[in-house]
Amino acid sequence: MIIVRANDIHEGLYTLQENKSGLTTTIIRETSMREAHRFMGHLNEKDLRKLQEQADGVSIKDEELGDCSVCMESKTTRSVGKEKSARVEKPGEELNVDLTFVNRTPILMVSDTGSGCTFVKIMGRKSDACQRILNIIKLIETQYHHKLKTIVSDGGGEFINSKFTKWCETNGINHHVSTP
């Protein structure tokens, strides 16, 4: 228990009695690496460990940070191209799709060329990509009231398979494979 005794109020602030004993008390609470990462604005693990060495009163459990969904999403959105296709005028007509990995976690990025809107979906398995794309297409077509005409992908296996190809053919959607 800590007891603080205020002497006086000066300009709206309490002034405290100074303890002349020369002893200082610091309360240290051990924090998990994930909690410290979040509290410090998603600071990386290396700098969190450095902070612990250089600052008094900082104690972080010696554990791995692991994956942070906020950090993964913020890093992946930087790599999406922002140029608009000259032939696309309306939102929902053309989608650029790509699958990337952050720490072995598959992340699907779907960009609507017409609106510039990008959907980022963190997935459990790479094989979930096809169904996630179909769900996003349904959402976009419902919201924009425009029929999707073209999907552009890098030709990865998640986009070049019988289920996806058949779905595109059945729905009259062109699937273009971009050059690497």
Domain ranges of the chain: 7-60, 69-177
Q: How much of the chain, in percent, has pLDDT values that exceed 70?
A: 76
Give CA–CA dist 69/118, Å, rounded: 17
Its CATH architecture, for the domain 69-177, is 2-Layer Sandwich (3.30)
152 in Cβ contact with 130 (< 8 Å): no
Amino acid at 8: D
Confidence tier at 1 by pLDDT (50, 70, 90):
very low
* pLDDT at position 96: 92
CA 137 – CA 93 distance, rounded (Å)? 10
Q: Is the pLDDT of residue 122 over 60?
A: yes
For 54-104, write each residue's pLDDT tens digit.
Answer: 777 778 887 888 888 888 777 765 444 445 445 666 888 899 999 988 888
Spell out the residues 6+ positions from residue 101 whose beta carbon is closer than 8 angstroms to its own: 107
Contact (CB, 8 A) for 16 and 5: yes
